[in-house]
Amino acid sequence: MKKRHIEETKTILREALVAHHPRIAIASSFSPEDNVLIDLALGLNPASRVFAIDTGRLNEETYETAEAIRRRYSLRIEWVFPSAESVQALEREKGLFSFKESSAARYECCGIRKVEPLSRALEGLDAWITGRRQGQGITRASLASIETDSVHGGITKYNPLAVWTAEHIRAYTEIHRLPVNRLVGQGYPSIGCAPCTRAISSGEDIRAGRWWWESPDHKECGLHLK
């Protein structure tokens, strides 16, 4: 990979951390992208904050990766959970797989398990950092490195890896021997909740395995909608 990608990303991260720490945090699902960000950010500021949302339906392999990251960096991960009452009400009233019935039903589930917890995670922050890339599907093709998050009160949203390719991520991961979710090697380039994620076939879009029963322009959970 080109050194300039790393240096440009470090510049964005450094300026973000200097401007906002400790009121800034990395949102992590422990994807290869997020693990690269954690490695870079902690190299710049060992006190960098990382939060993660436990939806209650994550893959075991995701928990394994989170634990590997926690141990490697002695990191205090700020876990956030959905409202137990809201999850209970959804499952009692609509069952365990209502999210497959329609896009609206899926957004309802994501809203309870992801979006509402994210709002709580961002309380008190001036900015947050994501591992999103332009190459992760049509919904992210025009992604900017720095955005204003109008959904969450106008705080700043940094996407330092916006122009990185999958190969850039792979190269950095291998050079620095970062933990990788075992599902990635089994054909899962994008990993969310277990019932909503499958392996993809050769030639498919990188996010084809997310909510595969929906059209490509709906491949977001609500965390990053504008």
Q: Which of 205, 171, 177, 174 is nearest to 189 (CA)?
A: 205
- Distance, in Å, from the CA atom of 152 to the CA atom of 55, rounded to the nearest integer, reads 20
Catalytic residue among 110, 193, 196, 221: 221
Catalytic-residue membership of 221: yes
Long-range (24+ apart) CB contacts under 8 A made by 166-174 are: 166/133, 166/135, 166/206, 167/1, 168/1, 168/2, 168/5, 169/32, 169/33, 169/36, 169/133, 170/32, 171/1, 172/1, 172/6, 172/36, 172/39, 173/32, 173/35, 173/36
Asked if 140 and 133 count as a contact pair (C-beta separation under 8 A), the reply is yes
100 in helix, strand or coil? helix
Give the residue ranges of DSSP H helices in 21-146.
32-44, 60-73, 84-94, 103-110, 116-121
Catalytic residues: 221
